Amino acid sequence: MKKFIGIFVCVSLLFSCNDGKKTAETTTEKSATETTPPEPKDYEIGSDKYADMGKKGQNDLASGHIDSWMNDFADSAIYRWNAGDSLAGKAAITAYWKKRRSEAIDSISFTNVVWLPIKVNKPIYSGQLTGNYALGWYMLYAKYKTGKSMTQRSHMVIHFDANDKIDRTTLYLDRVPINAAMTK
């Protein structure tokens, strides 16, 4: 045991010794780093205003105020679902959601809502847009005109253009419980 403690002390002393040269190198490295601007991050936390816009959109959809929600969309916006179907143009998105809210969905609400604003400075895959995003996760509850209801976890990705208008939205959800709730 004494032999082990002796070896441990020697090794500890070896690693704790400082000959002064290492300190000078460390100081020089720090000075160079402080004067050189850092490389831009590929991603960073974005402004809370984008998360607030995501929340507002959810509230507008839940209350049936589609026109208010659409005020935040660019005229050339694209609304996509994870299954691959999509709507192109603010007019088409507005018509779809007005019809959906009046003819198919009796009520819709969201709980356990989390919004995260991010800014993409450098895309990591081909086709990814730079700029501001709002990422949303939540429980979605919808009651349909059929009298049936559906609850599921959903995720939404919203991209904003240079004018802070929504130009891309992708909604990730499971169509199976929706289709089941819509059948009489």
Query: Which residue has better confidence, 137 or 184?
Result: 137
pLDDT at 145 over 80: yes
pLDDT at 130: 95
Instruction: For 59-128, give the DSSP string.
Output: HHHHHT-HHHHHTTEEEEEEEEETTS-EEESHHHHHHHHHHIIIIIEEEEEEEEEEEEEEEESS-SSTTP
CB-neighbour burial class of residue 111 (10 A; exposed 0-12, middle 13-18, buried 19+):
exposed
Domains of the chain with bracketed CATH = 2-35 (no CATH), 43-182 (3.10.450.50)
What percent of the chain is modeled with pLDDT above 90?
Answer: 72
pLDDT at 31: 53
What value does the mean pLDDT take over residues 70-92? Answer: 96
pLDDT, tens digit, 9 for 90 and up, residues 17-67: 444 444 444 445 555 556 666 566 899 999 999 999 999 999 999 999 999
Model confidence band, residue 118 (pLDDT cutoffs 50, 70, 90): very high
β-bridge mates for residue 16, sequence order: none
